[in-house]
Amino acid sequence: MRSALLFTTILLFAIVPFLNPAAANGLDENSGITITASFDNSTEMTTLNITIPVTNNATLLDELKDETFSIFRVAAGDYPVYIESIATNIQFCTQGMSNSECSGATFQIEYFPSPFDHDDFEYVLEIGNNGIHWIISNPVEEAVSPVMAVDNLTGMYSDDITTLSWDYSAPDFPMNHSVMIYSHDSPATRENWNSLTKTIVSSSVTAGTTSFEINHSSYQIEREIYYSVTLLFETSEDTRFIGNNTLTEPVYEDNTAPLFIGELIATFDANTAMTTLDWEEGIDDENLSINIYHHDGTLEDIDSSKLIMTVDASNSFIQLPIPMGEHRQSWYAITLQDSQGNEVLELTESSPLSNPVIETTISTTTITGIVADRFVDGTVVISWDDNTQNSGATARVWRSISGPIESFDNIEEIGTTDVSTLQFAHNPLDNQDEAWYAVTIDGAWGSEEEPWHDERLFIGVNSMDLPIRESEEEIEEVVTNFTSLVLTTTGFKANITEGAMISLGQMYEGDMILISSSYIVTNISCHDISGEGSFEYSSSDWALSLNANQSAEKCLGTIVDGEVEISFTLTWDYIETIAENDDDKGDDDEDHDNDDDHSKGGGREDNDSKEKITGVILAIIILALLVYLLVMMRAPQYGEEE
């Protein structure tokens, strides 16, 4: 009914030129333009011929060059019924054509009509687009065979699967066929089907089936593709595509993940507690995004559950805040993901995987104050301080004999213990004169549950800067060509050797100490004789004498002869003589006689003192003469003298 109403409207508009004389001078159905139609039963194609009248009317020809036309197909009869539009806004003559080229020109249009209930059809040539003037072709009988194809074909791709669905045009459609499925790179039409490059996806789908799945999981694919579904009967296959059995829009099939090739650098800034990930260059593609993954262990493949952020692919870096209380060793990886969700999670040599970066927002994460001591039995004990407050953490102890431990090259791990024990003891099998030790921690900090080995080494903190001697120290015997002797006025005498520690016993005021050598040496000296830092020496001589009345009561002595030097220590106990006080004298007259007796006795004591002083002087002279005699005689050993 709607088509009949439309055609009636066209007829009503056709009356307008007779009511409007001004339009008679323009193009109309009387302009001499003709349209004829013919139908080929073998090809089921209709050919339309449009002929421009032969005329020298320049005005008419100019109007033809400016005018557009439309062609409609209608069912012939007393009341023509609109069927379909064939062409719109077409031009036959153009401004680029001369009048002679336009006059009498013939134009041909080929058309494959769709099936309809009527057998006779006419074609309407509309002048302009206002529906006022039109020219009707001759009736033509079009015997178009019924459509034998599926209808409403759709295609959808998801997760490696392309799903095609369709309907049958009638419930009683004959089922003596098989379903053919084709794929092709461009849309299919009746005109291009034979020359179109296409692939048979399947030729054995059972009749009556209304869907088909194409699985691409076994191979990579990335394309836009069209599909067509035809029905193959015993002697025919309808490839006219009159219905909706071919896709007019392609299906985008993509299971090929985009590969990010490049470098990823991770750096942590302790001042800002931020880690910067830098991959140098972004990608200008709206269909791509960048996924960022964080792992707390060595990576073989990316764990999809470790995704921490997705950013636009145009970015070239990102900054990540690290929470307080964390101390972790992190690996970062980035991938490209397309709009279909495809991404590569397998790591290759070209994958952007960061170097391990230590992110710490904890003040103390290593042991400090490392020292080592050797005991008499050869045991070496390594000690340290622990402020990490990491209960259960393991201390790994390392040893080097080639220098301070700054890396893990050319070192050995000698054992482990709890960090909280604060020390580790071991007995080296290959004692060295110089050995260095370091301690690192294996543990978990902050929110991380996965223990990891903090391999950082800080000289003077958790790695010794100075070596320890593991072997027993050998005392080098000093070979001298001279002999030396210490003598005192108290009668003490002893040989002096390298490292000797000699106690001279008790000495009193006036007692002298004499240090001598068997011949003249470079110098003989005493340090700390009168207190720390004091110094007495004799240059180029063979004897040094000193008074026992010294506050330090010791002599740190050296005897130097050219490049040969021996050191020794002399100590003594100085006994101070206490003088009698006048207040202690009695003044009792009754004891006067006794006082006289004491006075007499005192006189004898004075005589004794004088005799003692004289003896000391004589002893010193005798000692000096004795030493001189020994030097002159060059006696090899003083130990043989009395």
Looking at the whole model, is its pTM more than 0.95?
Answer: no
Poorest-confidence range of 210-224, 273-287, 576-590? 576-590
How high is the pLDDT of residue 638? 41
Q: What angle do CA 449, 453, 458 make, to 5 degrees?
A: 130
pLDDT in tens, 438-456: 999 998 887 777 888 999 9
pLDDT in tens, 107-136: 999 988 877 766 789 999 999 888 788 899
**Architecture of the domain delimited by 368-454:** Sandwich (2.60)
Tokens (6 digits) for 274: 């931020």
How high is the pLDDT of residue 377? 86
Mean pLDDT computed over 14-22: 39
For residue 477, name the pLDDT band (cuts at 50, 70, 90): low
For residue 482, name the pLDDT band (cuts at 50, 70, 90): confident
* Distance in angstroms (rounded) separating the CA atoms of residues 367 and 385: 6
How high is the pLDDT of residue 630? 54
Poorest-confidence range of 115-119, 348-352, 462-466, 512-516? 115-119
Tokens (6 digits) for 477: 């015997």
Mean pLDDT computed over 300-315: 89
How high is the pLDDT of residue 182? 97
pLDDT in tens, 138-160: 999 988 888 889 999 999 999 89
How high is the pLDDT of residue 345? 87
Q: Which residues contact 37 (CB under 8 A, 6 or more apart)?
A: 46, 47, 48, 49, 121, 122, 123, 137, 138, 140
Mean pLDDT computed over 563-583: 80
Q: Indicate the domain borders of the chain.
A: 2-141, 150-254, 265-360, 368-454, 484-589+617-639
Mean pLDDT computed over 178-193: 93
pLDDT(422) > 60:
yes
pLDDT(584) > 90:
no
pLDDT, greater one: 478 or 366: 366
pLDDT in tens, 215-260: 999 999 999 999 999 999 988 898 888 778 999 999 999 998 888 8
| Homologous superfamily (CATH) for 265-360 | Immunoglobulins (2.60.40.10)
How high is the pLDDT of residue 586? 47
pLDDT, greater one: 626 or 38: 38
Percent of the chain past pLDDT 70, that is, above it, reads 85
pLDDT in tens, 317-372: 999 999 998 899 889 999 999 988 898 888 877 788 888 899 999 888 899 999 99
Strand partners, 516: 485, 543
2-141 classified as CATH 2.30.30? no
- Measure the CA dihedral 180/183/184/185, to 10°: 160
Q: Which residues contact 529 (CB under 8 A, 6 or more apart)?
A: 535, 536, 546, 550, 552, 554, 555
Instruction: Read off φ and ψ for residue 69, nearest 5 degrees.
Output: -135, 160
How high is the pLDDT of residue 434? 93
Instruction: Read off φ and ψ for residue 631, nearest 5 degrees.
Output: -60, -45
How high is the pLDDT of residue 26? 62
How many C-beta neighbours within 10 Å does residue 28 have?
Answer: 17
CATH number of 484-589+617-639: 2.60.40
- The closest of 47, 71, 48 to 128, measured between CA atoms, is 71
* Distance in angstroms (rounded) separating the CA atoms of residues 266 and 271: 16
pLDDT in tens, 19-28: 333 333 468 8
- The closest of 242, 304, 314 to 284, measured between CA atoms, is 314
pLDDT in tens, 46-105: 999 999 999 999 999 999 999 999 999 998 888 788 888 999 999 999 999 999 999 999
How high is the pLDDT of residue 613? 53
Contact 403, 466 (CB under 8 A): no
How high is the pLDDT of residue 459? 95
Instruction: Read off φ and ψ for residue 599, nearest 5 degrees.
Output: -65, -40
DSSP code, position 53: P
CATH number of 150-254: 2.60.40.10
Q: Judge residue 424's burial from the number of C-beta atoms within 10 Å of its C-beta, 0-12 exposed, 13-18 middle, 19 or more buried.
A: buried
How high is the mean pLDDT of the chain? 84
* Distance in angstroms (rounded) separating the CA atoms of residues 491 and 506: 11
pLDDT(16) > 80:
no
Tokens (6 digits) for 512: 């002298």
pLDDT(11) > 70:
no
Tabulate helix, strand, coil % of the chain (nearest 5).
Answer: 15, 40, 45
Q: How far apart are the two ends of the chain, measured CA to CA in Å?
A: 158
How high is the pLDDT of residue 588? 47
How high is the pLDDT of residue 639? 42
How high is the pLDDT of residue 552? 82
344-377 burial, b for 16+ CB within 10 Å, e for fewer? Answer: beeeeeebbbbebbebbbeeebbbeebebebeee
Instruction: Read off φ and ψ for residue 246, nearest 5 degrees.
Output: -140, 150
